[in-house]
Structure 1
Amino acid sequence: MNSRTHSTRWSSLAAAGALLVAVTVGAAAPALAAGAPPVGTTVGATAASAPATARPGPLDRESLARTLGTLPADITGGLVRVGGPDARWRGTSGEDVPANARFRIGSISKVFTATVVLQLAAEGRVDLDGTVQHYLPGLLPDGYPAVTVRQLLDHTSGLPGGGGLTAGDGSTAWFAAHKADYHSPGQVVADMLTQPMNFAPGTAQQYNGNNYFVAGMVVEKVTGDTFAEQVRKRVTGPLGLHATYVPAADDLTVRGPHASGYVDVPAAGGGTTRVDVTEQSPYPWAEGGMVSSAADLERFFDALFRGRLLPPAQQAEVFAVPDLPNDHNKNCEIGPTAGHACFSAGGMLRTVLPDGTEVWGKTGSRPGYSSGVFATRDLSRTVVIGLNPTGVSGEEFPTLWKLVTTGFGSGQVYGKH
């Protein structure tokens, strides 16, 4: 999904409704086990950092249950998982949402991709300051400015967003008709190159999924292996993330327990028809094609934040946000850091909640599925959310963000969002 399409995930909610809900509430979790590895304390490189509270506020389980239990009519189901030494809560909403549901995580896939690239950097197989032209000669046209691997990871490459091959006209009707279409990374990049550069590399930050198509191609080139196998060998296998995988090109299903995904398509005689899009192409690949579960995402973030996946030098990159202006990216227009870059070389978004709590994480979306995972640096709180929206223009985002802020005890959202 290109940057312009993805940015609509921050749009306003237009309608609300109620769904039948089955909510399960967990008890408070015990403290972290004695002898657990210390959480890393490296500091990101952003000049836009604002004062932030060390720990989130008290968990309001009733507000979480109420929000999850009154989902708008254009969200067919959802789940929430809150973890941390001082809070634990689990909830589901919707008739076909299992507590252990797997779902399409969209752009949360980028954090897995960045982790693999950073591991290769730690092994000396990838130089973050090395160029795409070096690792993938001929991929970019002659005369293109040098684009570094780090600029791919932190969205400062200036590469174009794409010509519409993978998004069509952006409508639910287009996606329903093209849900099984597969586009290889090479085809996506070729489509990207039909458009001009957005800005000179390293001068601004603009969220752009095409950066991660190219990053995945770098992984395959330097390892001689598939991207899917590298994720399995380096991340999901060692961590025991059995519900998390990169689907093969011809694998349209969500394996294991899952909720169905739907989109509402305008009907010829007026109104809408609800179309099942649970089975769809995994073409977003290293940019947004993975499947996971709430428990697996919580475990992945726990390992990543604790430094179990990366040595110190590369661990610092996970939280390093460049000191650059934001360029047409609504993800970076929330809160006190508005106008500045907000994405790190670890593929993650840094944001400060209205009460001052700093959290790191990522949202992701595919038609029928929208999700988010966020955590405080000290892992005192993690929040994972999966929703099943029927639109493709980000109408569900206010609901998702309300669940995020409530999960961190903030209890409020920024007015303009």
Structure 2
Amino acid sequence: MMLGPSFEFYYVDTQGKIITYSADPSKVKRTHIDTSPIKSVISNRINAATLSPQNAASDTSVDTSVDNNLITSLPILGDDPRQLNHQKIFSAAPVLRDGELQGYLYIIIRGENYDSIMQAVKANNQFGESSIIAAISLAVMLLLLLGLFRYFTLPLCKISNAIKGLSNENWETQKLNLNLTMSQDNELQLVVTTINTMLGQIQKQFSQLQNIDEQRRVLLADLSHDLRTPLASLQGYIETLHIHGEKLSAVERSKFIDISMKNSKNLKLLIDQIFELAYLEGGQVTLQNESVALGELIYDVAAKFELKAAAKRINITVDPAECNYQIFADIGKLERVLSNLIDNAIRHTPEDGEITLSVAEHSKDGKKLEIAVKDTGIGINQNELTHIFNARYRASNSQEDKQSHAGLGLAISQKLVQLFNSELSVESQLGKGTRFSFEVVKTQLV
């Protein structure tokens, strides 16, 4: 055993019985081994060696007679004394005494200790290989996870960077858009589309706020001018009366007082309309609905403007003459709308013109009535119809008269009609007249 754990030594007799061995007795499980492989090894060795006549003569006593079938190619395997059904590579040599064969020295190559050590080494190698494979697999998995993480987060990074870039955009002059296209239709593309839609709405609202602000500035400028004119005139005549009152004749004093009263009335009318429009736009107006005889209301409003219409020889008619409809509405606000429309019609209708107040059932179920005010005036350009309800807007062909107008009548009328859950509509042709109409809900027929 000094040669190392790779060798196991056994001494067997010529019949294969194990006589002695260099091993722990508890580990040897065979008592006999097959001698055929031993004879085959010895025979191959003799046949392969170049023997001198003296060596051949000295080995004549060795029994090397074996079947040719036992002479096989290397390696030749022999029985393993430590295993009942296992063979191993071996080496053997004959043991002679006085030239007579006594037995064989049987040596197992790679013995049990060697196998145990090699198995431990292999186990360690397998563990090392397994550890390397596991480390490589873990590294590959981490790379794949990083790739997947990059794949999923790259679009989010693009979206985040695009949104951050919006802070540097000029919202007044540029159209806001992420300008991102995902590789396929997925949730991220839906997010991009939703953000672009939201940006479009923000841009639209921003533009509307700019337009409203611009309209507010123009309105304030116009109203300031309109307020300054009667106020300056009123102040001038009052100062004249104050400074030269005793030097003025009674006729001049009366004339100045009349002019001052007229300017004060115009100033009060303008201020009242400004407050009325402000309350309407602020949603601070409530309706006081009651049962109203529509025919009586229309005739009362028409009668209020008879003198003013007669001054221009304008005829005001009601169609049908017997307007027996009952409605449920705020009589004060409805009268205000009709008054604004008739006053506007008289102002833009030339002499010998015609103004018609008509009422007709407008819906198929007969529950709604259409109230219309039609004149034979100068009409309005088609491209200006969408602007006439803006505060202080004046049509390009509007006629001036001697009275002051704030230009808020149609804007106020539109806001009042919207309180009735309707819209003030307009139809017009140049030189043929204009027709304003809106709807109210009928309650019953009187």
The answer, yes or no, to whether TM exceeds 0.5 is: no
Q: Which of 1 and 2 has greater Rg?
A: 2
> Per the shorter chain, which TM-score range?
under 0.3
Report the TM-score, using the length of structure 2 for normalisation.
Answer: 0.20
More strand, by proportion: 2
Which structure is higher in RCO with an 8 Å CA cutoff and minimum separation 6? 1
Identify, as 1 or 2, the structure richer in helix.
2
